[in-house]
A and B are shown apart, each in its own frame.
Chain A
Amino acid sequence: MTKMIKMDLYRFFCSVSTWIILFAIAALTFLSVVLVSMNTSIQPYSNAGELLAAQINGGTLMTLCAIAVIIFVSTKYKNGFIKNIANQLSRRELLAFPEIIVSSVACALYFFAYSTCSIVAGAVIFGNTFITFSFLDIIKLLIVQFVLHWSFCCLLLLFYMLTNSATVTMVIGFLISFKILNVIYALVERFSHFNIGQYMLDANIFQLGMASAKSVYIRAVIVGLIFLFVEIVLLCMVMHKKDIK
């Protein structure tokens, strides 16, 4: 399995789409910071940490991670390369792990690029005082958001394995990133007086900020890890049952 992971990582870093998305992340981050500085109706952020958290809450990074992971995985299945390697593993379910690991690497790479660009753009546009934030707080936020985003990517992987359609999966990913499920959570809360959103992956991504309480952070990590675990188990089950086409 480690050989397969090595192969997928090699392909990930050789792939043009990886670098195009990385470039898109850098450009979008700079652009959004410029737009924030120009828009007087937005309450100005006191530091780069707040700005970064708000941008992640916006769902842009979520959308880009979804695109990157789906493009990467679907190519292997669409062009049939998977047939060349599927019988190299002693257990079929292990085929899910290279995709899971690569999606974590993709998330980590994009998170690093996003946060670095955001902080640098903030410092350039708002001045050096803008980067006076607690480094530890930012790291904490990024780690928890990374777990949630990775889990989101694995959810999309699962959708892809079930539907065999990159288009359907991409649309599902976009709808979730565009906060469509918030409507459902609001309706559920209205009728049952129960806030289901706080136990869901996407709602936690949209809510978690620098000023969030410790309990919110802990809940977000637990939600992320539970989703991740369930998705990995389901992915393994799907891969075990699935015929490779």
Chain B
Amino acid sequence: MEVLVQTHNLTKQYRQHKVVSNVNLSVNKGEIYGLIGRNGAGKTTILRLLCGLAKPTEGEISLFGQKNHDMIYTQNRVGILIENPGVYPNMSAKDNVKLKCLAMGISSKGYIAELLADVGLSAAGKKKVKHFSVGMKQRLGIALSLVGNPELVLLDEPINGLDPQGMAEIREMIIKLNKEKGITFIISSHILGELSKIATSFGIIDKGELTKQILKTALTEDLEEYYLSLTGGIP
């Protein structure tokens, strides 16, 4: 199976504080990789390093088989939704997507409508984003990450602040995109129960270190117990 993302001793340090320490991560093409860990464990920083928003202090990242410096030419094959969806609240959903399309040189007719339909925002295209619910903003964030048909999408806590119905909708959308378009996902979350419903493999992050990588097929109660031991019994 083709390896899409690989890191070797990936480290990020802010002054004296190591936020990510010697992470050796491997994600195969077509996977939904769940990065699980408690708040402040370093999940977001790992995603920021993978998509090039932050630079590693030490270590190596390989994306689509290209390493470090060459990696910058592959980063536009990566869609991202890091922390909150980065959107202009005073613009409509359509205009927000149009901005990213302009930045990527996409001008094909109907592309924006198709993208909004993919994330279930067809009816809200002309509505200003400031009137959107949290779930709708997350959907728009995902739509933005899908502009340019990326092969890899990084989603940071995409179900944060959503009600159970919203969580289920986002989950279904991710599975659909993974199956129909073959997009590989790396999704971070601190809710193992939710992530275990969609992820095909997992990496557990604790205090900046990747303590375990495991396939869903090997997902046993042991992993759940192990994760609970890290989070002090909080799922």
Residues of A in contact with B (beta carbons under 8 Å apart): 3-4, 6-7, 10-11, 14, 16, 75, 79-88, 90-92, 243-245
Cβ contact of B86, chosen from A4, A79, A88, cutoff 8 A: A79
Cβ contact of B99, chosen from A7, A87, A91, cutoff 8 A: A7
Query: What 1/0 mask marks residues of chain B from 99 to 110 whose CB sits below 8 Å from any chain A CB?
Result: 110111100000
29 contacts between A and B (CB under 8 A): A3-B103, A3-B104, A3-B105, A6-B103, A10-B99, A11-B88, A11-B99, A14-B91, A79-B87, A80-B82, A80-B86, A81-B86, A82-B86, A83-B83, A83-B86, A84-B86, A84-B144, A84-B145, A86-B53, A87-B51, A87-B52, A87-B53, A87-B72, A88-B76, A243-B55, A244-B48, A244-B53, A244-B54, A245-B53
> Would you call the interface of chain A mostly helix, strand, loop, or mixed?
helix
Chain A residue numbers with a CB within 8 Å of B82 are 80, 83
* Cross-chain contact A85 with B103 (CB below 8 angstroms): yes
* Cross-chain contact A6 with B102 (CB below 8 angstroms): yes
Considering the complex of A and B, which 6 residue pairs feature the smallest CB-CB distances, nearest first? A80-B86, A7-B102, A87-B75, A243-B54, A81-B86, A244-B53
**Which chain B residue lies CB-closest to A3?**
B105
* Cross-chain contact A80 with B85 (CB below 8 angstroms): yes
Alpha-carbon distance between A82 and B55 when the two chains are bound, in angstroms: 16
**Which chain A residue lies CB-closest to B144?**
A84
A-B contact count (CB 8 A): 76
* Cross-chain contact B80 with A84 (CB below 8 angstroms): yes
Alpha-carbon distance between A83 and B144 when the two chains are bound, in angstroms: 10
Alpha-carbon distance between A3 and B78 when the two chains are bound, in angstroms: 18
Interface centre among B83, B88, B91, B95, by most chain A C-beta atoms within 10 angstroms, is B88
Given contacts A90-B72, A243-B55, contact A14 B95 (CB under 8 A): yes
Given contacts A14-B95, A81-B86, A243-B54, contact A91 B72 (CB under 8 A): yes
Please tell me if B13 contacts chain A, counting CB pairs below 8 Å. Answer: no
Q: A7-B103, A11-B99, A244-B48 are in contact. List 13 more A-B contacts (CB 8 A).
A: A7-B99, A7-B102, A11-B88, A79-B86, A79-B89, A81-B96, A83-B80, A83-B82, A84-B80, A88-B104, A91-B72, A243-B54, A244-B53
